[in-house]
Structure 1
Amino acid sequence: MKVVVIGGTGLIGSKVVSKLNALGHQAVAAAPNTGVNTLTGEGLAKALGGAEVVVDLANSPTFDEAAITFFKTAGENVAKAEKAAGVGHHVALSVVGTEKMGVSPYFLAKQAQEELIRGSGIPFTIVHATQFMEFLRGIGQSAVVGDEIHLSHAYIQPMAAEDVADAVTSVALAEPANKIVEIGGPEKFHLDEIIGKVLAFDGDTRPVVTDPEARYFGLRLDDDSLIPSPGAKLGSTRFDWWLENVPPPSKK
């Protein structure tokens, strides 16, 4: 089966492409560096020719109001190309809590993306994932206030990128659910405490301050904002193992 993975050279996409190919499918990585641009439509028709499934893992390069233009434009271009190619299943990776975070420009953009998918007429599955463990360091860096790191005490249930890729691969090979399915990590932590553990492991001595007014990419969190619903499919990678065994990305 031919599966086109938009964003197929990124963190999750490259893993999904490898997993699909290892299972004997024809996985095509579609990204600007492979000649496919969803914003302009360049290369889409050629890439989607003969595809049965499209997995959309592309993300907006910004978290501000420009994100809605990205998701709407890219989504419309992809849907048009899918209809022309006769694609039978559109899989999109989104975020747990998207429907509850409407005050954030980024999550308003994600809501618009999901509405477009539901209204496209193409069978679909939207995967809502919790935050990736690989992004925990970035969350800490985004919360710097002077010489301190200010974070909410809300819960987070992070998921290893490898487990996200496994789940997305399984969804891509299944029948369209025509709904949202949720995935998450196997353990729940307080956001301030887990970031503190990562910083300590890295030898970063900056203090983590628990701040109920701290924003998470512009959003004030409730206790359950970042937690999947009961019944979500959970990954198997535990945080302590990940921290010890998955090296941080190299700094270029």
Structure 2
Amino acid sequence: MRIAVLGGTGLVGSRVVALLRERRHEAVPHGLSTGVDLQTGRGLPEALKDVDVVVNLSRPPVFDQNSPVFFRETMENLLQAAEDAEVGHIVILSVIGAEQVPDVHYYKGRVVQEEVLRDGDVPWSVIRSTDFFEFIDRVLTWTADDTAVRLPATLLQPIAADDVARIVAGVATTGSLDGVLEIAGPEVFPLDQLGRITLAARGDERPVVVDPTAAGMYSYVRGAALIAGDTAVLAETTYRQWLRG
């Protein structure tokens, strides 16, 4: 099976490409570095020539007010190119609970992306994931200084990028869902607790202070908006296991 992976050099994309190749599929990573610009459509016809499946893992360069425009334009361009190339299946990786946080531009963009995909004529699969373990360290830097780390008590259910890649690769090679699959990690934590667990594992003695206004977009999340529902597929890797690895 020939599979084009847009965003195929990123955190999840590179893992998806490696897994697909291990399974004897012809997986080709694409992105700006390979001459494919989803937002303008440049390079798309060539990237999708003779392709059976497209996996779209692209993200905007900055999570700002332009995110909805990015997701609309890239999804519309991809759909048109996929229809022209007679691609049989498009897979996208979205976010659990995005529709419940309309004040965050990035989440609003993910909702737009899903809507555009569903309205197209190409068989599709949406995989909605929770946040990745690999992002937690980055979040800790947003409101940290030499004396403390400030984080809200936002509930998260993070998942390892390796587990996400395994599920994405599986969906890409087993046929269109024409629906949504939710995936998440096995545990739910308040973000401030994740901070304490992470700092302790790194030998960092700074305290974590609960601050509802800290950590950017997570300060807009209420309740269990970003937590998986009862039908979600739960990965096995726990956060502490991942930290030890």
TM-score normalised to structure 1 length: 0.92
- The one-letter code matched in structure 2 to 1:72 is R
What residue number does 1:109 align with? 109
The CA deviation string for residues 109-163 of structure 1, in whole angstroms up to 9 with x for no partner, is: 1111111111112111111101100000111112337843222223211101100
Structure 2 residue 158 is matched with structure 1 residue 158: yes
- The one-letter code matched in structure 2 to 1:198 is T
The CA deviation string for residues 210-235 of structure 1, in whole angstroms up to 9 with x for no partner, is: 23444542642223122100121111
Structure 2 residue 180 is matched with structure 1 residue 175: no
What residue number does 2:37 align with? 37
What residue number does 1:53 align with? 53
Structure 2 residue 28 is matched with structure 1 residue 28: yes
Find the residue that maps to 2:198 and give its secondary structure.
helix
Where does structure 2 lack aligned partners over 5 or more consecutive residues? Answer: none
Q: CA RMSD in A?
A: 1.6
- In structure 2, the CA distance between the partners of 1:98 and 1:84, relative to structure 1 (3 Å rule), is same
Structure 1 CA distance for aligned equivalents of residues 39 and 212 of structure 2? 38
Check conservation: 1:155, 1:189, Cα contact below 8 A: yes
Structure 2 CA distance for aligned equivalents of residues 76 and 159 of structure 1? 29
Check conservation: 2:154, 2:219, Cα contact below 8 A: no
Structure 2 CA distance for aligned equivalents of residues 186 and 55 of structure 1? 25
- In structure 2, the CA distance between the partners of 1:3 and 1:161, relative to structure 1 (3 Å rule), is same
Check conservation: 2:54, 2:90, Cα contact below 8 A: yes
What residue number does 2:148 align with? 148
What residue number does 2:3 align with? 3
- In structure 2, the CA distance between the partners of 1:215 and 1:14, relative to structure 1 (3 Å rule), is closer
Check conservation: 1:215, 1:221, Cα contact below 8 A: no
What residue number does 1:19 align with? 19
Structure 2 CA distance for aligned equivalents of residues 144 and 203 of structure 1? 16
What residue number does 1:91 align with? 91
Check conservation: 2:129, 2:164, Cα contact below 8 A: yes
What residue number does 1:78 align with? 78
TM-score normalised to structure 2 length: 0.94
The aligned length equals 245
Check conservation: 2:3, 2:53, Cα contact below 8 A: yes
Check conservation: 1:2, 1:53, Cα contact below 8 A: yes
The CA deviation string for residues 51-86 of structure 1, in whole angstroms up to 9 with x for no partner, is: 111000001111111112211221111111100110
What residue number does 2:239 align with? 239
Check conservation: 1:101, 1:219, Cα contact below 8 A: no
Structure 2 CA distance for aligned equivalents of residues 190 and 37 of structure 1? 37
Structure 2 CA distance for aligned equivalents of residues 66 and 145 of structure 1? 29
Q: Which runs of 4+ in 1 moved over 6 A?
A: none
Structure 1 CA distance for aligned equivalents of residues 219 and 152 of structure 2? 10
Check conservation: 2:154, 2:218, Cα contact below 8 A: no
Find the residue that maps to 2:112 and give its secondary structure.
helix
